């Protein structure tokens, strides 16, 4: 035990100059250490070994985690194993083996003239952006196309693909094929025809890209879609196409106006024809009404004529003669002669006295 500690306990118990005259027995300070400290020296080697293993695992990191949408490619002494590592937790031997994690999700490659190319080319984004594809039409005029290609790496053949093309497989498989096919297809058309034949050209481009990618050894990539977004024409060609479009629109408008005028004329003719037919129907109806009325009048006359008999005529003659007799009673100087033989007798009036004659005639009326 250290001397300073002994001195401390001696002073604590009264020291040499205490009440016992310095003859007091010193205190026993032999303290026993804990049990685990007694065995610490025996197990120190094991503890050091465990600590060493933990440090080794942290530094060497002989394990990896493969996420969904990814596969791992294990390389042993630089040689890729043919079977990819599925998503999950995997161990490998550090310094001898190495695991490359590649993305098998859907990826997008844009060929564009309007976007910032560098902003999309970030690792892990799944989107790669390149400059628009410059093409010459069949007259040598420059044309640019904006495309979007969607694809994904085949997981089963990923080790062979990476072994053949490297980790930059997109720039070696997708980009060259797309540019070659676009130039081959568009070069067969004139710049003026491209907007008109847009759908046909887009279909041929997709068909050509799909055919060339599927023809790659081992079919490393699955092509999903190819979309043609925009056709960028030279300014002069664009202005010319716009003028043609304006002329076509004007022709269509004129055609529409002519057709509209024709329809209006047909409408007016139909209205006039309908009015004429209405008047004809009305006139026919009036004519039929007049005929019916005339037929009714004739029928009435026939019926009346059938009802006139000799005795009826004689009766009428007597009635008229009675009226003349009354007239003579008023105008005694008038001379009236009656000639029998009809419904109304013949009348002769003596006209020597004009005034009397007028009066007599008025009475007969």
Q: What is the pLDDT of residues 208-232, one digit of tens each?
A: 999 999 999 888 999 999 999 999 8
User: Where are the chain's structural domains?
Assistant: 1-29, 62-103, 107-233, 246-306, 310-364
Highest mean pLDDT among 195-209, 273-287, 351-365: 195-209
Q: Mean pLDDT throughout 114-135? A: 72
* Alpha-carbon 19 to chain mean position: 111
The 3-class secondary structure across 83-113, one letter per residue, is CCECCEEEECCCCCEEEEEEECCCEEEEEEC
Indicate if the pLDDT at residue 116 is higher than 60: no
CATH number of 107-233: 3.30.479.30
Rounded Cα–Cα distance for residues 139 and 112 (Å): 24
The model's pLDDT over 139-198, given as tens digits with 9 standing for 90+, comes to 888 999 999 999 999 999 999 999 999 989 999 999 999 999 999 999 999 988 898 899
Phi and psi at residue 358, in whole multiples of 5°?
Answer: -65, -40
Interatomic CA distance for residues 104 and 68, integer angstroms: 9
Report the C-alpha dihedral over residues 164, 167, 171, 177, rounded to 10 degrees. Answer: 40
Q: What confidence tens digit (pLDDT) does each residue in 28-60 have?
A: 555 555 555 555 555 666 777 788 777 877 776
Mean pLDDT of the chain: 78
pLDDT over 50 at 18, yes or no: no
Three-state secondary-structure class, residue 34: coil
Share of the chain above pLDDT 70, in %: 73
Among the listed residues 232, 82, 241, the one whose alpha carbon sits nearest the alpha carbon of residue 147: 232
Asked if residue 232 lies in contact with residue 191, where contact means CB atoms within 8 angstroms, the answer is no
Element (H, E) at 356: helix 354-364
Query: Using CA atoms, how far apart are residues 28 and 58, in angstroms rounded to an integer?
Result: 49
Structure tokens at 158: 């990923």
């Amino acid at each position: 035990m250290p001397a300073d500690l002994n001195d401390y306990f001696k002073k604590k118990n009264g020291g040499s100059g205490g009440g016992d005259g310095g003859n007091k027995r010193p205190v026993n300070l032999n303290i026993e250490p804990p049990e685990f400290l007694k065995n610490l020296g025996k197990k120190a080697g094991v503890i050091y070994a465990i600590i060493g293993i933990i440090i080794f695992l942290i530094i060497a990191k002989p394990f990896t985690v493969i996420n969904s949408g990814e596969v791992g490619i294990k390389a042993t002494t630089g040689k890729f194993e043919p079977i990819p590592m599925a998503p999950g937790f995997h161990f490998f031997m550090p310094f001898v083996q190495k695991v490359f994690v590649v993305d098998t999700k859907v990826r997008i490659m844009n060929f564009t003239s309007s976007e910032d190319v560098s902003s999309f080319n970030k690792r892990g984004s799944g989107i790669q952006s390149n400059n628009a594809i410059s093409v010459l039409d069949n007259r040598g005029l420059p044309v640019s196309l904006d495309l979007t290609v969607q694809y994904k790496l085949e997981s089963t053949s990923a080790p062979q693909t990476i072994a053949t093309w490297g980790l930059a497989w997109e720039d070696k498989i997708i980009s060259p094929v797309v540019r070659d096919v676009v130039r081959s297809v568009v070069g067969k058309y004139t710049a003026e025809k491209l907007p008109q034949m847009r759908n046909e050209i887009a279909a041929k481009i997709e068909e050509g890209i799909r055919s060339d990618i599927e023809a790659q050894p081992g079919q490393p990539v699955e092509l999903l879609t190819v979309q043609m977004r925009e056709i960028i024409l030279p300014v002069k060609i664009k202005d010319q196409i716009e003028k043609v479009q304006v002329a076509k629109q004007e022709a269509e408008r004129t055609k529409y106006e002519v057709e509209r005028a024709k329809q209006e004329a047909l409408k007016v003719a139909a209205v006039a024809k309908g009015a004429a037919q209405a008047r004809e129907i009305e006139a026919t109806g009036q004519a039929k009404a007049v005929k019916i009325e005339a037929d009714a009048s004739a029928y009435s006359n026939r019926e009346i004529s059938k009802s006139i008999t000799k005795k009826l005529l004689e009766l009428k003659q007597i009635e008229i003669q009675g009226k003349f007799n009354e007239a003579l009673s008023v105008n005694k100087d008038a001379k009236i002669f009656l000639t029998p033989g009809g419904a109304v007798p013949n009348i002769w009036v003596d006209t020597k006295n004009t005034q009397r004659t007028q009066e007599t005639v008025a009475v007969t009326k």
